[in-house]
Amino acid sequence: MKLILLHFLAAATASAFVLSPQQTWTKLILTHHWPTTFCGMEKCHTKIDSWTLHGLWANNGNDCNATWHFNVTLIEDLLPDMEKSWPDLLNPESTKFWKYEWYKHGTCAAKAESLNSQHKYFSKALELYHKMDLDSVLKKFDINPSKQYYPFGHIQDLVDGFYGAKLKLQCVHPPESADYQILGQIEICFTPDFSLMDCERETREKPVNSSVKAQAKPGFSVCDPEVPVYYPPTM
């Protein structure tokens, strides 16, 4: 009887991590931040001159398992790389940021066997981040942080051509009187088996009037293809 019960509990535990058809995710989004742009909107504790990892997000579902607690000791071997590649730009202690990413995104991505542990999730995100090497790719094409503006299409075409997939470039959009937008976030998308795939680029919603825009909190949204891009240098 005890053996039957153990088999039942094991089966129930496994089934708890199977997505229903409505919840199945079909895409992973590797999201990068340009710290100078992010820190222009927020109060950061440090200056970093390379693209940092923001997260690895499944495209369907948030906070999928609140009982799956984050335990930093499970990723101790990853911590040196985490501190450098995936830092919390707002706080010197990054553990709370990683905990947030695990609860919101990791527990959803972990529905896949390849990501079904805390260590698998964080190590895969780091692996993809280093493999994509966004910093080096931009530099390869002489797209460097500077005070000059870049044509949006120039950046988009070069990175899409290099990766063989459509990336999502996101910007901060100054007031409508400005003649530029600020590059701040880049998403690279993957299939569940970690093959590159096109990211969706929804049209940026525009406020109905300037007063609404003035009240809106600045944030990242899809870059406007008609507006020059400012890729700000580290101050």
* pLDDT value of position 213: 36
**In the beta sheet, which residues pair with residue 29?**
57, 189
* Helix intervals (H) in the chain: 2-15, 35-41, 79-85, 95-101, 107-109, 118-132, 134-140, 152-163, 210-215
Catalytic residues: 54, 101, 105
Return phi, psi of residue 96, to 5°: -65, -35
pLDDT at 226 over 50: yes
Instruction: Give the list of residues 6+ apart from residue 199 with CB closer than 8 angstroms, or none.
Output: 29, 165, 166, 167, 168, 187, 188, 189
Domains and CATH numbers, the chain: 24-235 (3.90.730.10)
Residue with more model confidence, 211 or 170: 170
Query: 211 with 76: CB under 8 angstroms?
Result: no
Q: How far apart are CA 106 and CA 68, in angstroms?
A: 10
pLDDT at 209: 36
The tens digit of pLDDT for each residue in 6-65 reads: 333 333 333 334 444 444 799 999 999 999 999 999 999 888 999 999 999 999 889 999
CA dist., res. 53 & res. 185, Å (int):
10
pLDDT at 218: 56
pLDDT at 116: 96
Could you tell me which residues come within 8 angstroms of residue 183 by beta carbon, excluding any fewer than 6 positions away? 34, 37, 155, 169, 170, 171, 223, 229, 230, 231, 232
The 10s digit of each residue's pLDDT in 8-25 is: 333 333 333 444 444 479
Q: What is the pLDDT of residues 77-133, one digit of tens each?
A: 999 999 999 999 999 999 999 999 999 999 999 999 999 999 999 999 999 999 999
pLDDT of residue 234: 87
Q: Determine the pLDDT at residue 178.
A: 85
Look at residue 212 in the predicted model and tell me its pLDDT: 31
pLDDT on residue 197:
98
- φ/ψ (deg, to 5) at 195: -90, 145
- Highest averaged pLDDT of the listed ranges 2-11, 89-98, 168-177, 213-222: 89-98
Among candidates 45, 42, 81, 68, which has minimal Cα distance to 185?
A: 42
Quick check: helix, strand or coil at residue 164? coil
pLDDT of residue 181: 96
